[in-house]
Structure 1
Amino acid sequence: MAGARSPYPGQVSSPIPDLAALQALGPLQQPSYPDRAAVDTAVSRLRTMPPLVFAGECDELTDKLAAVTRGDAFLLAGGDCAETFAGVTADNVRNKLRVLLQMAVVLTYAASVPVVKLGRLAGQYAKPRSSDTETRDGVTLPAYRGDAVNGYEFTPESRIPDPQRLLDVYHASAATLNLVRAFVTGGYADLRQVHTWNTDFVRSSAFGQRYEKMADEIERALTFMQAIGADPDEFHRVDFHSSHEALLLDYEHAMTRIDSRTERPYNVSGHMVWIGERTRQLEGAHVEYFRHIRNPIGCKLGPSATADDALALAAKLNPENQPGRLTFITRFGAERIRDGLPPLVEKVTAEGVQVAWVSDPMHGNTFEASTGYKTRRFDDVLDEIQGFFDVHRALGTVPGGMMVEMTGDDVTEIVGGGEEIDEARLAHRYESVVDPRLNRVQSLELAFLVAEMLRKA
């Protein structure tokens, strides 16, 4: 791998650095494994495993994200904050997929452009943490960093980083992708069926009637298509891609392959991978790794990011300025988005940088409830998306999409929404192991409300 060459003379490319070279850069947010030899064994095993995704699929997603960059498509990304091995069940995967498909139908109709569907799944098993340790009742242990690293149970044995879990991530991701592919090609994604689910939501929800007009419009459009005999394949199957934060360099480097068709390196653990807010240092190990792979990539930008930061990252991560290659995922918080985002968008646009702008309305709006639970307000999530649209509308640029943390289950982790979940109800069914997620009803409600924004954009 270290000796890979570019088949494109004159274009910017270089060999994938050795894992040791990346580690020498001092990558942040990595586990402190007690036995490096065991890590090396797990990594060596991963290098022999078949790809989870294929280079051609990644290239197809790059083309779709190029359309997002131009405003000819809209990106909907969603899934768990942190997947768990226990969550790899048919019911769990199906419920998540179902809600994402329901959201996509509403957004497609409102935007009048294709919606690119991207799951935050089949690899989202590691999370950066603000502290290396966690203290409960006077006992301090290593922080839980996701099932890819250690266990959630607060015991010394559980919290020891275990490299065997890297192999478990591979197998869990493979099982998840197998389920998703079976669902989206086996009739589960049929457009008429998905719309029927939305109609049931509108009719059965106590507050869903406010969305009845749009649901009726979609129904009339589908009836018209049926009447004229239109029945394209797109009505019965969908393209669905996977994504995750490529945080653990041991795993991501091991899952990097040279494509035999193009001789270019791809991360075959997911179609799209992204760099987090905590690991986007320009000279850091993550940026150094990401600039070599040919997947479409994302980079989170929070309140500390400047326009010059964004330009420098774009120059390093996408030196060829290829549309669809780079997505900036903004996470400012509802109170900061309208002031913080414009300088970045203005300067990046003025320099002619080809990038898709996508809103992450979740991570800048987290707080601790009076009951001790980590939560978010539905209204803050919605307001950040509205601010994102407002900024782009004012600047004449493209609001490319949104990435949300959500689940297909009826959890109680985010306050507000039509169900009027309050802080006292969080304890009813709080199941996330890291960050709070929109539940099924809140996710659908958000889709209808964002659809209204798209119609005005």
Structure 2
Amino acid sequence: MLPLTGEAAAHWRTLVAHQRPEWPSLAELGEVTDHLAASLPLVTPQECDTLTARLAQAAEGEAFLLQGGDCAERFDRLSTRAIHGKLRLLQQMALILTHASAAPVVTVGRMAGQYAKPRSRPTETVDGRTLPVYRGDAVNGTGFSQAERRPDPVRLLRMYDASRHTLDVMRAFARGSTDPRQLHEENQDFVARSPAGERYGELASRIGRALSSQEARGGGPLRTTEVFASHEGLLLDYEAALTREDPRSGRRYAGSGHMLWIGDRTRQPDGAHVAYFATIDNPIAVKLGPATTPAQALALIDRLDPDRRPGRLTFIVRMGAHRVRYLLPELVEKVTASGAPVVWVCDPMHGNTFEAPSGHKTRRFDDILAEVAGFFEVHKALGTHPGGLHVELTGEDVTECVGGGADLGFDDLPRRYESACDPRLNEGQALDLAFQVAEMFTPGATVTRR
């Protein structure tokens, strides 16, 4: 990709930016973005290029992407302990998946910038009163009052500070020596506690034997020292303010995170989000929902990866458990035939959300598992690579999704439902998922639904 001039880089500003908040004061927004433009970027071009190289391996079937974290980060939940909990859980899952796939797992946190959410409706009504919908802590608050729901551009500065703190913690965590044997012991503790532990025992034993063998040989494929950050690049005013030109190469990078993605609601090929993403050299992703056509997918490739650079573009598909097997094949076939080296990643969360009798948004663990199974089956049938998994999760013992080894039910949801937006897997459910996805790498594997 050739370096862009200032005019070309700013073309997105002339286009429709779907899901853009209705900021009350553009002057105040300008003051905030000017401040961000004078601030240090949060990530470096070298870090972004390293992730691109790792994802290029995933595109070839030589690595597997594990991307996970909160649905929406919260300013009032920011803590070193919570960040460590998510990172540790991702590493435990990575250990399971890397031994099952016999390939390195690229670990990418859905964190350090996931403070804005697209919404299906601009307002919500409670007890006859209608207010703007909550759009993430970067935009407004969760409280149901006019003051809380007013979009406030000053929150973008809080987003920057919170993301910087999270990245500092992530880097310190990655520098610490993470012993795969310790991760394995923690996974074995989970197996011993889990009602489904008997099912996972043989796989856990195989991982233990493999670790012992790797120690004897002096190493293994698990990268415990690399953790990258990603978020949906929804707020283009924020993203553009933190975009920097690398003086070494003249290439432009979003300085807000290593990997950014475009949501299913903002992926219009002629829209502002695609136009902005086309100007940056970070690895990027696009969420593809059930309405995505092969023609649309190919148009996105032409706009976002015209040079067909391995590792540049990831497609995160979110079809739903009951649709993935008949909607995904044509997409994969047409994209593969085009020669585009995209990474195919399964998001089994967003297509399986529904409202419980209590009014809580939730997801069934079995639906999540079934969508991943369908994703693997499609790629196996086509001879292509299932490149990764994208999940909303937390290291906390929340009760937001139903099912899993502990068999949470609808009555459990109010006990500890803490998400401000969409439901997340808790630690036990996430490890359940990792063990069962690991079984899908075995030839002839089938999914057992409880």
Question: Would you call these one fold, judging by a TM-score over 0.5?
Answer: yes
Could you tell me the TM-score, scaled by structure 2's length? 0.96
Structure 2 distance, partners of 1:198, 1:437, is 20
The residue type equivalent to 2:159 in the other structure is: V
Structure 2 distance, partners of 1:391, 1:186, is 39
Distance 1:354 1:229, change over 3 A: closer
Structure 2 distance, partners of 1:456, 1:79, is 29
Deviation string, structure 1 residues 225-276 (Cα, Å, up to 9, x no partner): 33x36257x7784211000000001100001000111111000110000000
The residue type equivalent to 1:411 in the other structure is: V
What corresponds to 1:400 in structure 2? 387
What corresponds to 1:5 in structure 2? none
* Residues matched between the structures, number: 444
Distance 1:38 1:19, change over 3 A: farther
What corresponds to 1:340 in structure 2? 327
Could you tell me the TM-score, scaled by structure 1's length? 0.95
SS at match of 2:253: strand
What corresponds to 1:261 in structure 2? 248
**Alpha-carbon deviation of 1:163?**
0.6
CA contact (8 A) 2:267 2:286 kept: yes
Alignment of 1:181-196 (within 5 A): 181-187=171-177, 189-196=178-185
Structure 2 distance, partners of 1:430, 1:376, is 13
Structure 2 distance, partners of 1:135, 1:289, is 33
Determine if the alignment matches structure 1 residue 153 to structure 2 residue 140.
no
Determine if the alignment matches structure 1 residue 230 to structure 2 residue 218.
yes
Determine if the alignment matches structure 1 residue 383 to structure 2 residue 370.
yes
Distance 1:17 1:384, change over 3 A: farther
Match of 1:117 among 107, 115, 129: 107
Structure 1 distance, partners of 2:7, 2:346, is 31
CA contact (8 A) 1:374 1:435 kept: yes
Q: Among all aligned residue pairs of Structure 1 and Structure 2, give the percentage whose two residues are the same amino acid.
A: 54
Structure 2 distance, partners of 1:119, 1:236, is 14
Match of 1:200 among 189, 208, 219: 189
CA contact (8 A) 1:19 1:253 kept: no
Structure 1 distance, partners of 2:212, 2:344, is 34
SS at match of 2:139: coil
Deviation string, structure 1 residues 38-66 (Cα, Å, up to 9, x no partner): 10000000001111110011001001100
SS at match of 1:158: helix
Structure 2 distance, partners of 1:175, 1:50, is 13
Structure 2 distance, partners of 1:174, 1:16, is 27
What corresponds to 2:415 in structure 1? 428
State the 4+ residue runs in structure 1 displaced beyond 6 angstroms: none
CA contact (8 A) 2:11 2:275 kept: no
**Alpha-carbon deviation of 1:456?**
2.5
User: Structure 1 stretches of 5 or more lacking a match?
Assistant: 1-10
User: Structure 2 stretches of 5 or more lacking a match?
Assistant: 445-450
CA contact (8 A) 2:9 2:279 kept: no
Deviation string, structure 1 residues 200-238 (Cα, Å, up to 9, x no partner): 111122322211111111112222333x36257x77842
Deviation string, structure 1 residues 114-167 (Cα, Å, up to 9, x no partner): 000000000000000011111101111110000000001111111111111001
Determine if the alignment matches structure 1 residue 79 to structure 2 residue 69.
yes
Match of 2:97 among 92, 104, 107: 107
CA contact (8 A) 1:22 1:289 kept: yes
**Alpha-carbon deviation of 1:24?**
2.8
Structure 2 distance, partners of 1:235, 1:148, is 34
